[in-house]
A and B are shown apart, each in its own frame.
Chain A
């Protein structure tokens, strides 16, 4: 209990803390900056192709935002990311992550508690979900079937491109044109009406989209919350319907749209990736804080660490977000002007906070049987779209939401490894929480105020909740940034709005994982297809790197979505 996965011995052997003399002379084939899940995925595929690869991690532990940490004795927190669905099954299988210890257990459903004491239970079981919807609105229960089909149509449009490099629409290269044709074909396959539906879907707000199907406030709110998670936009901001999609396109064992827990917390994902990488002979170096990417004659040559050590490689891959990559670990003089401007303009706004809570027992929620399967899912307390929108208004005003949208889960109901028997761990994702409060740095008072707004909201529906709290670790964007290195604490390494998707991610002209400097690459969630613990950016970047190095490709094709 409480042992973090990365502590287990094979990994620990790979983690070399005393590195100075040993590595000063060594030149790697490739260096990956950051041991987040994408960095590890990228490194694994490079190593699989026979390259000598080192992954450098600033923290003394790996994982980036896919970590499990013991911050309270006996409890393991999925400190940042907390559920697993988007992780590409092709990669999981290809890198043999299950053999390396990753076990993903699906969880079902969710519940939105209402101010009037009732709730909407989003049952995992289809028939029960239908009946529960019908309890709120018969029409909505029926409309949900059309809604699901329509969302799936959009999902099918994007899923085949997750494990592909986006084409450059301004390019006239054969490969780009061919890829563009494939996109075109996929869009044309929708038919005129379908294509117009798709274009509308991708440009409208999740609120407007839901209004076209549903009449019940609580059903709209329950479904709409996912349209703003991790995004500095409100439910009525155009473009958020796509964000909704981003949360529907994953799968656990082929059930598109369902979510699961990584047993042992999200750190298990990083741990399994690390083992896979090490199995290919890769090396992970922790406590290696990169100061700068060394560029000579317009080519990447390696990295200089903050402690003065230099490590060399002709291929340097950054798993950091675009701002950190170009404005922090790269020197402006090594970069074209447009890249600096584009990095400055890149939207990576912190909008989320997180509470990790150790509980003395399973809390009870008003009106809900503790044995209900709904307890196993996610809990929300925003019962209308206007409430969600007002939460966003607070963020725009530079403060945390006074009535936040929260995504609460208690994974210890199905995962015995994260808390002592009979005890529980609660993860609370909070939308919205600004990177700065009215333009100023977070003060302890601010943080306490933020924590209180969240705890009070939960407690309003759970009378015993406050008494059960043994420890609460509160993370504003400031802490998320400090810990995981995500600029402004943005969980997706950059907003998932259409202007920053596909060939626009991270910025137009640089969406094919290659940086502006020869030998320098990007592999983080700031690149296509974005964040959410997919590992696709890391794999896609590896494919491009191997192509440049004229090495055989080791990255698998995506499964056909028939």
Chain B
């Protein structure tokens, strides 16, 4: 039996980032992945014969350039099929609103709104810079802070001061409020307001009127700082990212065993000792890094009985209710969206006519119901990457909000109804699309949970809301990647700064482990 310095549970993208950095530092790393392939939410899967799709995340919007560079992903085969894509807010009558970079076109968008957006976007980017600073390091402790923490706090404080009085005031106000109000303060066009507010609520259990959605919006805009002037699409789907990361990891000496589910993270007297696999095999390691979400990590793998009650309470109180479903359609041809120019078909298409519509869509999920009229973030990846389907056929992938984790009576009673709701809605924008459907697949939050091992099906491994970010993520005592169990670290989206195929949680965790001299 080989002894490893680091055993990693799960080989999602954050895990791969972390493992790579640890291997580079000279540590011997073994990754255990329950699935057949590594990559977690960066996955491509054939969902119908001849049709492949990015089965979880569909766009790349904010992968950290630090990750890109340190892992030499381009050298390891990562290729963009398209990038800096526009966002098209669809109209049933075909008068679509197009946001390309900072430019708005169509839908009789007024000059005032165009100017207001340019101003707004500039201001948001200034705010985002502070966020990005905070994201690229561990979240500082406040009371028991050491020098590194105080330095981070100082940098953040300085960043705030450098914004100037007006911007600082504005940031401190809007960070706490909702997209709805901020949109109302700045813009007129209903679809512009809805389009931007959707960015604040994607993947969350919040509507435009929920306070904290401005944070969600800023979080997403960090991608602009990372060089993404709009969503990007990878050749071969998001699975290509996983492949490049795996290649990079292997080159760095990381060992990855897929199809090996971890049964438990083993501890003795508050120290981690290794892992036991479902197969019964026991692995010993000085350090265990968990890429799976904090609830799975502590409840299922470490076991609540092996940690103290206060930690159990903290883990149980993590809010990870998802409201997001994923729809995959195999289409016999390119769907025809009313009035959509051919050149925009491969861009990001959004169904969110106005903020109240989006808010109503959200209302349902509060009561464990699904939206009668959901909001959607649609990708037709085959336009930019025809290889995902055979014979000129197409794939449509959509993030659909909102769908509850568990509707009354269970999903099996409702699955077909909800697919019909979504198809009927799509039909309003792309008449005839239903007749093109060759196969369909709906991934409910429960499906996302079981396929990607995310408790609650939440793609951030826990709601990305102000009460669960920075030093509150995932909870006190585990907010600097190390946990209450000595030698057990977290490196997934449940940790600071969060998910969204950014890679910083993994990178920060690796830095922290190296800094603490873990497993050496």
Contact at B211–A238, with CB atoms within 8 Å?
yes
A191 at interface by CB-CB < 8 Å: yes
Q: How far is the CB of A542 from chain B (nearest CB, A)?
A: 25
B237 nearest CB across to chain A (Å): 34
Asked if B476 is at the interface of the complex by the 8 Å CB criterion, the answer is yes
Report A-chain residues with C-beta under 8 Å of the C-beta of B367.
Answer: 386, 389-390
Does B269 count as interface, using CB distance less than 8 angstroms? no
How far apart sit A190 and B174, CA to CA, in the bound complex (Å)? Answer: 26
Choose one: B165, B467, B477; the contact of A203 (CB below 8 Å): B467
Beta-carbon contact of B143 and A238 below 8 Å: no
Q: Which residues of A contact B173 (CB under 8 A)?
A: 499-500, 504, 507-508
* Closest partner residue, chain B, to A199 (CB atom): B472
Inter-chain CA distance A300–B34, complex, in Å, is 72
Minimum C-beta distance from A40 to chain B (A): 30
Pairwise interchain contact B177-A386, C-beta atoms closer than 8 A: no
CB pair B211 A237 closer than 8 Å: yes
B347 within 8 A of A: no
B172 and A508 contact, CB distance less than 8 A:
yes
Tell me if B444 counts as interface (CB < 8 A to partner A).
no
Q: Is A204 touching B181 in the complex (CB atoms < 8 A)?
A: no
Of the four ranges (under 10, 10 to 19, 20 to 34, 35 or more), the interface on chain A belongs to 35 or more
A127: interface (CB < 8 Å): no
Interface residues of A in 249-264 (CB under 8 A from B): none
Which of B144, B177, B313, B472 neighbours the largest number of chain A CB atoms within 10 Å of its CB? B177
CA distance A188 to B467 in the complex (A): 18
Most chain A CB within a 10 A radius of its CB, from B319, B465, B476:
B476
Which residue on chain A has the smallest CB distance to residue B165? A170
**Is A199's CB under 8 angstroms from B141's CB?**
no
1/0 per residue A206-236: CB within 8 Å of B? 0010001000000000000000000001001
Q: Mark B232-275, 1 if CB is under 8 A from A, else 0.
A: 00000000000000000000000000000000000000000000
Residues of B within 8 A of A345 (CB): 181, 185
Query: Could you tell me the distance between the alpha carbons of A239 and B169 in the complex, rounded to whole angstroms?
Result: 18
B367, closest chain A residue (CB): A386
A196 touches B465 (CB 8 A): no
Q: Which residue of A lies closest to B209 (CB)?
A: A396
- Residue of A195, A208, A236, A497 near B143 (CB, 8 A) is A195
Does A50 count as interface, using CB distance less than 8 angstroms? Answer: no
User: Once the chains are docked, how many angstroms separate the CA of A499 from the CA of B214?
Assistant: 12
* Among A344, A397, A504, contact of B172 (Cβ-Cβ < 8 Å): A504
Judged by a CB distance under 8 angstroms, whether B471 is at the interface is yes
Contact B176 A498 (CB under 8 A): yes
Question: Is A308 positioned at the interface, with any CB of B under 8 Å from its CB?
Answer: no
Of the candidates B172, B181, B313, B467, the one whose C-beta lies within 8 Å of that of A200 is B467
Q: What CA separation (Å) do A188 and B210 show in the bound complex?
A: 29
Interface residues of B, count at CB 8 A: 41
Contact A386 B366, CB 8 Å, known A195-B143, A238-B211, A345-B185: yes
Residues of A453-512 whose CB lies within 8 A of B = 497-500, 503-504, 507-509
Given known contacts A169-B172, A192-B141, A499-B174, A237 and B210 CB-to-CB distance under 8 angstroms:
yes
**Chain B 306-319 per-residue mask, 1 if CB under 8 angstroms from chain A, else 0:** 00000001000101
The docked-state distance in angstroms from the alpha carbon of A499 to that of B176 is: 6
Chain B 351-368 interface 0/1 with A at a Cβ cutoff of 8 Å (1 = within): 000001001100100110
Whether the pair A238, B165 counts as a contact (CB closer than 8 A) is: no
Contact pick for B209, options A188, A191, A192, A237, CB 8 Å = A237
Q: Does A445 make an interface contact (CB < 8 A)? A: no
Chain B nearest CB, measured from A183 CB (Å): 13
Distance of A192 Cα from B206 Cα, bound (Å): 28
Cα distance A236–B313 when bound, in Å? 20
Query: By the criterion CB–CB under 8 Å, are A238 and B169 in contact?
Result: no
- A393 touches B (CB below 8 Å): yes
Chain B residue nearest to A200 (CB atoms) is B467
**Residues on A with beta carbons closer than 8 Å to the beta carbon of B166:** 338, 509
In the complex, chain A residues whose CB is within 8 Å of the CB of B466: 203, 238
B residues in contact with A239, CB < 8 Å = 176, 211-212
Determine whether the beta carbon of A509 is less than 8 Å from that of B169.
yes
Chain B residues, Cβ within 8 Å of A197? 476
A192 contacts which chain B residues (CB < 8 A)? Answer: 141-144, 476
- Decide: A212 and B317 in contact? CB cutoff 8 A: yes
Task: Note all chain A residues with C-beta closer than 8 A to B342.
Answer: none
- B392 CB, min distance to chain A CBs, angstroms: 45
**A236/B366 contact (C-beta < 8 A), A193-B476, A196-B471 known:** yes
B168 CB–A CB distance under 8 Å = yes
Complex CA gap A503/B173 in Å reads 10
Give the chain B neighbours of A344 by CB distance below 8 A: 185
Complex interface: chain A residues within 8 A of B209 (CB): 237, 396
With a cutoff of 8 Å between Cβ atoms, the chain B residues found around residue A169 in the complex are 168, 172
Q: Is A436 an interface residue (CB 8 A)?
A: no
| Interface status of B170 (Cβ within 8 A of chain A) | yes
Contact with B along A61-89 (1 / 0, CB 8 A): 00000000000000000000000000000
Partner of A389, one of B144, B212, B366: B366
Min CB distance A547 to B, Å, is 22
Name the residue in B143, B165, B175, B472 with the highest tally of chain A Cβ atoms < 10 Å from its Cβ. B143
* Docked pose: A203 CA to B177 CA in angstroms: 10
Complex: chain A residue closest to B319, CB-CB? A208
B170 CB contacts on chain A under 8 angstroms: 508
Measured CA separation A29–B141 after assembly (Å): 50
Cβ-defined contact, A497 with B211, below 8 A: yes
Interfacial residues of chain B within 423-473, with CB under 8 A of chain A in the complex: 465-468, 471-472
Q: Are B169 and A508 in contact (CB under 8 A)?
A: yes
Does A347 lie at the interface of the complex (its beta carbon under 8 Å from any beta carbon of B)?
A: yes
What's the minimum C-beta distance from A295 to chain B, rounded to whole angstroms?
23
B142 engages A195 (CB within 8 Å): yes
Which chain B residues lie closer than 8 Å to A233 at the CB level?
Answer: 211
Least Cβ–Cβ distance between B24 and chain A, in angstroms = 32
Q: Smallest CB-CB separation from A390: which chain B residue?
A: B367
A191–B476 CA distance with the chains assembled, in angstroms: 11
Q: Which of A381-439 contact B (CB under 8 A)?
A: 386, 389-390, 393, 396-397
- Compute how far the CA of A498 lies from the CA of B141 in the bound complex, rounded to whole angstroms: 22
Q: How distant is B314 from chain A, measured CB to nearest CB, in Å? A: 10
List 21 interface pairs A-B (beta carbons < 8 Å), by A numbering. Answer: A169-B168, A169-B172, A170-B161, A188-B142, A192-B141, A192-B143, A192-B144, A193-B477, A195-B142, A196-B471, A203-B176, A203-B466, A208-B319, A236-B210, A237-B211, A386-B366, A393-B363, A396-B363, A497-B211, A504-B169, A509-B165
For the complex with contacts A208-B319, A237-B209, A508-B169, 18 further pairs of A-B residues with Cβ separation under 8 Å are: A192-B142, A193-B477, A200-B467, A200-B468, A200-B472, A212-B313, A212-B317, A237-B211, A338-B166, A345-B185, A497-B176, A497-B177, A499-B173, A499-B175, A499-B176, A503-B172, A509-B165, A509-B166
Which B residues form the contact surface with A (CB < 8 A)? 141-144, 161, 165-166, 168-170, 172-177, 181, 185, 206, 209-212, 313, 317, 319, 356, 359-360, 363, 366-367, 465-468, 471-472, 476-477, 479
Q: Across the A-B interface, give the 8 residue pairs with the lowest CB-CB distance, nearest first.
A: A508-B169, A203-B466, A204-B467, A203-B467, A499-B176, A192-B143, A238-B211, A239-B211
